[in-house]
Every structure is written in C-alpha cells, then in structure tokens.
Chains A and B, each alone.
Chain A
Amino acid sequence: MRINPRTTGKIAKVLIWAAALSVLVVLVAIILYILFKGMPFINWRFLTDIPRSMGRSGGIAPAIAGTAMVSLVAIVIAVPFGIGTAFYLAEYTRGNAVTRIIRFSAESLAAIPSIVYGLFGFLFFVIYLDLGWSVLSGGLTLAFMILPTVIRTSEEAILTVPNTYREVSFSLGGTKWQTIRKAVFPSAIQGIANGVILSLGRCVAETAAVILTAGSALRMASSLFSPTRTMAVHFYYLAREGISMDNAYATAALLILLIFLINVVANAFVNRTMAKGR
C-alpha cells in the first residue's frame, strides 16, 4: 500500500516539529530546574565570601576568581595561535602536506576526551615542567583543549569571506597582508568571535582537565602559580562529597548565568565595535 505524498509530507512535518519541540522542552527544563534549585542561594555574600567548612557555608569567591583566571590564560594563549594557524591554512597555503597534517591533527585533537588533556597537562605541565597544580598549568591545558575549536571555527569563518573582497583589495594595490587585515579579517571577525566565545564557554565549564592541572585549592589564588579551584570543580566536590547540594545548585546556576552573560556581552561587543558598515 502506498501512502500519498501529501500524507507523508504531513507526517514528516509533525515528526520534525515533535523532535524540535522535545529538545526545546528538555533544554528549558534542565535550565529552569537548576536555576530554580540554585537561585535562592545566590546572594551578595555567596558571590564575595570565601568558602567556609569546605563550602558547606560561606561563598565561592575564590572559585569565581579561579574560573576567570584559568579561562583567561587559556584564551590569551589559544586565540592568537589558533587564529594565526587558521589564516595560514586559509590564506597562505593551498592543500599541501603541511596543511593536511595540521587539519588532521586538529580534527583528531577535537575528538579527544578532556580528561586525556588533563592527564597530559598533569604529566607535562604539573610534573615535568614543575609548574605544580596552578592557574598556569590549568590554563595551558585548556588552551591545548580549545585550540582545535578555535582553528576550525576561524578557518571556516575566513573561508566564507567572498573571494571578490580579496580580488578588489589586490586590484586596489593592496599587499597580501593589507588584504587580509583590511578586507578579510573584518568580514571574518564575527565567525571568529563566535568560535572564541564557544571556546570560552568550554573553558568555564571544563572539570576533568582542570582538576588534574589546576588542583582544587579553596584559597584565593594570588598568582599564576597558585593552585586554584574553578566553579565547575567546586560544584563537582560539593555534589559528589555530599557537602552541600544547595550550594552545589547555586554554583551550577551561577555557571549557567555566567555562560549566558558571556554570550550576550561578547555578541554585543562584536556587533558594536567590529562589524561596522554592513
């Protein structure tokens, strides 16, 4: 028996809508549940105080600072190298052995579980380079982790810039570097920024790689060489050791809000300052 095409069309439409709707429901449910459980415990003291009795009471200020420091180190290191590599791949070479090796490595690196980066960071930065559990070890490890994402998203952004922009710039007497800087980069910046924001989100949320490299110290980190604990790690200990589910949820809620905030602020910044004139 054959079903007529209009009926199959309707069935397909219903199924696709159902798929999208259930995903939306699940996502919203998770976010609302965590915000609902966590928001009541977020207050000024929670944001600014140090944790007391292992985090059972007090605040999470050192974890907030730790998260910011580790993520900042990772971004500051990974972004220049990542964008530089992306421009090399997209503008300076065309499909030779070196580019294939870089692309293949980046793809492979992107698929590695983060705890493997953690193990590498522990063995290399913490032990071998003797940086100890520190902001620097954690940040460097995360930099390696997000590098493939930065490279891939930046390269894609650069490749979507229409070739006519390059031809116009060259035809107006631009050098290669002037063309990249003035005609290609401004058009690719939005896509590049999206990749950086995505990577920043992954840094903020990362747990496994950071436990092994930045440690889990509750004290406020005083330098790049101090051990620290990020919010995600703090949350992990609070929940797994059963220290305080209330504060665990509050930390999780704060993480979600933070990632939300990063997205909004970064997008506004890019739109306002860099993507003029389109």
Chain B
Amino acid sequence: MTTETNVKIAIRDLSVYYDKKQAVHSLSLDIRAHEILSVIGPANSGITTLLRSLNRLFDLTPGSRTEGDILLDEKSIYGPDVSLTELRRRVGMVFDVPTPLPMSIFDNVAYGPRLKSKKARGSVAETVERSLRMAALWDETKDRLKMPAASLSGGQQQRLCIARVLALEPEVILLDRPCSGLDPISTAKIEDSLTLLKKQFTIVLAPHNVQQAVRVSSRTAFMLSGRLIEEGPSTEVFSDPKDRRTSDYITGRFG
C-alpha cells in the first residue's frame, strides 16, 4: 500500500460499534494535510462517531468497540505505545454546542497547556493570547480575560472553544457541527477563521448544512447510515455527484 506523503490521516476499513449496534461500516478515507474536509450526511449517519474515533474520545463511551485502523502520519493510533493524551493534543476537537468550562476565559484557553509539565508548556499567557488572536476573539476578550467564560455570547463561546483547541498546538482539528446553534453572523466569523487556519492545520468539519460545506471545504465526503457513499473535491461532489443518493441529499430531496 502506497500512501502519498501528504496524507495526514488514513482511515482503513474502520467499523465502530455501540454494543450490538454498528455505527460505522468498514469505512476507508484519506484526509490530506492542510485541507478542510467536510463530512456531510443526515442525522445518525455515524459522522459524530467517526470524528470521535479520530481522537479516540469514542473510547470513553461504554460498550464501544472498534475494528480496522486509523493511521496518523502513517502510525496507527491504536498501537500499544500510543499515549491517549498525546493523541488528543495532536488531534483537537470542537463540539457541536459551545462547551466552556465553568472558569474564566483565560483559564479555559489555558486549560490544555496547563495539563502539560511546567517545562513543556512555555509561557501560558503568550499561548493564550496567540490562540485567542487566531480564533479572532482577542479584541473582544482582551480586557475581560478574568471574566467567566459563560458571560460570552454563544458565538464567542464557540470561538473560545476553538481557541482552547488551538492552544494545544494541534496538527488536526475536528469540528463536529460547530455552528449548529449559532446565528449567521457568528457562523460567518467562524468560517472565516477556519479558512485562515487551514494553512497551518488539517481540518475535519462536520458542517451543519450542505451550504457550509460548499463555502469552506476543499474536499467533501458524504456518509449515509454509517457508510461512505462518495468523496472527492467539493466542487465535483456538489456539481457532479456520482451517486444518486448524494445528489438526492445535496439537492434537499431528503435529510
């Protein structure tokens, strides 16, 4: 098997189960470095499960079971010498609802860096500022870093969550419907940040609608009932889908 050098994550024949129920069916997919890959599909398609498999957060779910393999930089993330904390720092995750921890804005962003040893973390204050700037939240928060994160608006909270992931200095960022509860203006701000972040990170996005995938992603994968139906450059998937189910979904015939 030849893997191109720019493949960041290679999903190989992945099957994921909750107890008896299978959520992902032998799925194979390459995620390239510095691209935004959108994974689209109706609810219960296994997209969240797939994303949570990529940083092994899925392992926390009782009764979960995984078959197949996921390679990050050509190394299996299920290998015996893999450190889960290290993996989750390299593959950061933003959840579908803003999930600020009940602490200040600063402490939220500093949460990840502070988990590292004193030597490894460097200057936390600098990391926090850099991360908030990258998430386009610095100007709004620089004068109230000590305020509770819950005092921010929903859109700001979600950008805070993005900043919190950026503070980990990750290689891959997973975003699971990050704009599902947000107004169009906040959504636009987050989409702008994503486009900027693409230069430095590999981004896997579960968009909350098809239009978002069109706007921000370079490639798109369509999933249905835990199976990968089709994937390719976004322009091709949306203008000339090969599978009828894909075209039915993106034209809004179901979903």
Query: CB within 8 Å of B: which residues of A?
Result: 94, 164-175, 178, 182-183, 186-187, 276-278
Contacts and interface: CB of A to CB of B under 8 A. Distances in A.
B168 A172 contact: yes
B89 interface: yes
Given A170-B57, A278-B148, A165 B101 contact: yes
A174 B85 contact: yes
A170 B91 CA distance: 12
Given A94-B62, A168-B95, A187-B102, A174 B55 contact: no
Instruction: Tell me the dominant secondary structure on chain A's binding face.
Output: helix
Interface stretch (B103-111, B130-138, B187-195, B228-236): B103-111
B150 interface: yes
A171 B92 contact: yes
Contact of B112 (A166, A173, A186): A173
A173 B85 contact: yes
B112 A172 contact: yes
Nearest to B94: A171
Given A172-B92, A172-B115, A182-B114, 20 more contacts: A94-B62, A165-B99, A167-B95, A167-B99, A169-B101, A170-B60, A171-B55, A171-B57, A172-B88, A172-B89, A172-B111, A172-B168, A173-B86, A174-B115, A178-B115, A182-B111, A186-B102, A278-B102, A278-B103, A278-B148
25 contacts: A164-B97, A164-B99, A168-B95, A168-B101, A169-B111, A170-B88, A171-B55, A171-B95, A172-B88, A172-B111, A172-B168, A173-B85, A173-B88, A173-B89, A173-B116, A173-B168, A174-B111, A174-B115, A175-B115, A182-B115, A186-B102, A186-B103, A276-B104, A277-B102, A278-B103
A183 B86 CA distance: 19
B93 interface: yes
Interface of B: 55, 57, 60, 62, 85-86, 88-89, 92-93, 95, 97, 99, 101-104, 107, 111-112, 114-116, 148-150, 164-165, 168
B128 to A, nearest CB: 13
A175 B95 contact: no
Nearest to B62: A94
A23 B89 CA distance: 56
A149 B165 CA distance: 39
A171 B174 CA distance: 10
A183 B101 contact: yes
Contacts of B112: 172-173
A67 to B, nearest CB: 36
Nearest to A164: B99
Residue among A94, A175, A178, A278 with most chain B CB within 10 A: A278
Nearest to A161: B102
Residue among B62, B102, B150, B168 with most chain A CB within 10 A: B102
A169 B93 CA distance: 11
B196 to A, nearest CB: 22
A193 to B, nearest CB: 16
Task: Across the A-B interface, give the 9 residue pairs with the lowest CB-CB distance, nearest first.
Answer: A277-B103, A173-B89, A172-B112, A278-B102, A173-B85, A171-B93, A173-B88, A277-B104, A164-B99
Contacts of A171: 55, 57, 88, 92-93, 95
A172 B95 CA distance: 12
Nearest to B86: A173
Contacts of A278: 102-103, 148, 150
Nearest to A165: B101
Residue among A170, A172, A175 with most chain B CB within 10 A: A172
Given A172-B168, A173-B89, A173-B168, A167 B104 contact: no
Nearest to A162: B99
A167 B104 CA distance: 18
Given A167-B95, A277-B107, A277-B148, A172 B164 contact: yes
Nearest to B116: A173
Contacts of A186: 102-103
A67 B248 CA distance: 76
Contact of B115 (A164, A165, A166, A173): A173
